Amino acid sequence: MPRKIVLHAGFHKTGTSTVQAVLRANRKALMPALAIRLKGQMQELMHATRGYSTYGTADALDKVSRRFDALLADLPGMPRRTLLISAEELSGHMPGRGALADYSAAPVLMYLYWQRAQRAFPKTPVVFCFSTRDSAAWQRSSWAEHVKSSGMTQDFDTYCASYPAAAELAQTVQEISRRVPAPVHSFALEDCAGLPLGPADPVLDLCDIPDALRTALVPQPVQNAQLDAQTLEDLRQINRAHSDADARNAAKAARLAQGNQQ
């Protein structure tokens, strides 16, 4: 049974990849105090959360419940360690995919995680953590990610007009706080620039890491940084030119291999 459970559940494009890089690089050093589960270790759960955020059905939510239960059931004994689960997909898909307009699935999912964790470990406190970001910066970064990683063809202004509620991250955190009977913490990515471990520091603050161990942790460079404007426009034009996903991905990979064209 973990002594504490911390769920770092998003949001996308708020430094989550950098947090996970720090955790991955320092996993061995953190092991005496912290058990870590990242999205690569829970692909089936991530598939289910994305499905629930897309379809919103009772069956999809039940699939999330069963796979989260399986994740908890597979844990080793850890009575003196905190369990940290970090994955932005715990909140579902990033808004901007088809009809998915916002993070309205997140409060429902967080309540489910709290409920299932309490059932598995009634005496273990559960804490939620979210990173947020300035709305305009988040919109730009999320659009860029869609252009790079999906078939997004909209220009930036059209994207913003199509998904006006997507960037309301603070409001989503407030709704989660109202829904979930557990502590819900949040921090802004903009406030992490001067921290030794960047956005990983506020997450680790919740994990009760001994000072001697904490000071030995190794920072990591910023992950998944936004591409330059010309590369993004080239990728968007590739998305417009190719309806076949394999052809589109091949063309985008070739363009990215060329690097910055500015």
Half-sphere exposure of 184 (CA within 13 A, CB side): 23
Residue 87 sits in the same domain as residue 168? yes
Q: Which residues of the chain have pLDDT under 50?
A: 262
Residue 124 sits in the same domain as residue 240? no
Residue 91 sits in the same domain as residue 169? yes
CB neighbour burial string for 155-173, b if at least 16 within 10 angstroms, e if fewer: ebeebbeebeebbbbeebb
CATH of the domain at 218: 3.40.50
At residue 216, the pLDDT reads 94
Task: State how many domains the chain has.
Answer: 2
Residue 48 sits in the same domain as residue 139? yes
β-bridge mates for residue 6, sequence order: 84, 127
At residue 262, the pLDDT reads 43
At residue 98, the pLDDT reads 86
Residue 232 sits in the same domain as residue 211? no
At residue 78, the pLDDT reads 81
Whole-structure pTM value: 0.94
pLDDT tens digits along 236-250: 999 999 999 999 999
Question: Where in the sequence is the domain holding 248, given as residue range(s)?
Answer: 227-262
Residue 117 sits in the same domain as residue 74? yes
Residue 17 sits in the same domain as residue 147? yes
β-bridge mates for residue 185, sequence order: 129
Residue 188 sits in the same domain as residue 257? no
Residue 211 sits in the same domain as residue 134? yes
Residue 70 sits in the same domain as residue 118? yes
Residue 232 sits in the same domain as residue 131? no
Residue 240 sits in the same domain as residue 163? no
- Phi first, then psi, for residue 187 (nearest 5°) are -145, 155
At residue 119, the pLDDT reads 97
